[in-house]
Amino acid sequence: MEIKILIADDHKVFIQGLRIQLESRKEMKVIAEACDGLSAVNLATIHSPQIVILDISMPVMNGLQAMKTILANAPDTKVIILSMHSDKRFVLEALKAGAVGYLLKESAFEEVIQCIKSAMLNQTFLSDKITDIVVKDYIDTAMKCENASSSLISLREQEVLQFLVEGKTTKEIASQLKVSTKTVEAHRTHIMDKLGIYNLPELTKYAIREGIINL
């Protein structure tokens, strides 16, 4: 089955070169070309391509806005960003908006073909450099969430929480930590207030989730 493709880029020479390479594959057909984002939206409406290849920096309407409009009108369309921009902001916004591929213009042509084939299988394909950006952002976000969560209560409060969910009484905890029962009760109150959790089952779930205790 022939794959219908629309290319949008404000460099005509680039479009022509990409078109020649794509149509060297018998299963691919470039059905329309656009030099700005608004034209890309209009042509996508008229021709209903399966694949839309968009640059980000285009006049009238940028590629990200064009993509959002195209997908709003035709959610089944597969949009691939092919750009010189590797800035994390562009990459993440494009993927969040629904792009199934993000390639850099420095990518080998075979990557473009592989990306199109992956898109037709409802799979995401990224250039190696873009993959690194996405993975690093994921790790940074996960670490921030973990640090924010674990810092909600102090180390001493984590100790008290562990004893609480293990079923120890206030006196037993006070004896173990060599503090007064009033101090333990104060810690318990602070823990509940900081976490916004006021019952033992939910405190237990939190402790397990944060690795304070093991199942």
Nearest to 82 by CA among 49, 119, 57: 57
**Its pTM surpasses 0.85:** no
Structure tokens at 86: 């590797």
Q: What is the DSSP string of 57-76?
A: S-SSS-HHHHHHHHHHH-TT
User: In this prediction, what percent of the chain has a pLDDT beyond 70?
Assistant: 90
Give the angle subtended at the CA of 177 by the CAs of 173 and 181, to the nearest 5°: 50
pLDDT in tens, 67-108: 999 999 999 999 999 888 777 778 888 888 889 999 888 877
Which runs of E-coded beta strand occur in 90-135? 101-104, 125-126
- Domain 3-133 matching CATH 1.10.3680.10: the answer reads no
Task: Give me the pLDDT at residue 144, please.
Answer: 59
Residue type, 60: V
Task: Give me the pLDDT at residue 180, please.
Answer: 93
Looking only at the bridges linking them, the beta strands covering 3-8 and 51-54 are: parallel
Give the angle subtended at the CA of 95 by the CAs of 94 and 96, to the nearest 5°: 95
User: Rounded mean pLDDT of the chain?
Assistant: 85
More confident residue, 55 or 86: 55
**Domain(s) of CATH 3.40.50.2300: residues in the chain:** 3-133
**Domain(s) of CATH 1.10.10.10: residues in the chain:** 152-209
Nearest to 153 by CA among 201, 204, 184, 193: 193
- Domain 152-209 matching CATH 3.40.50.2300: the answer reads no
- 140 pLDDT band, cuts 50/70/90, is low
By mean pLDDT, which of 90-104, 123-137, 172-186, 189-203 is the weakest?
123-137
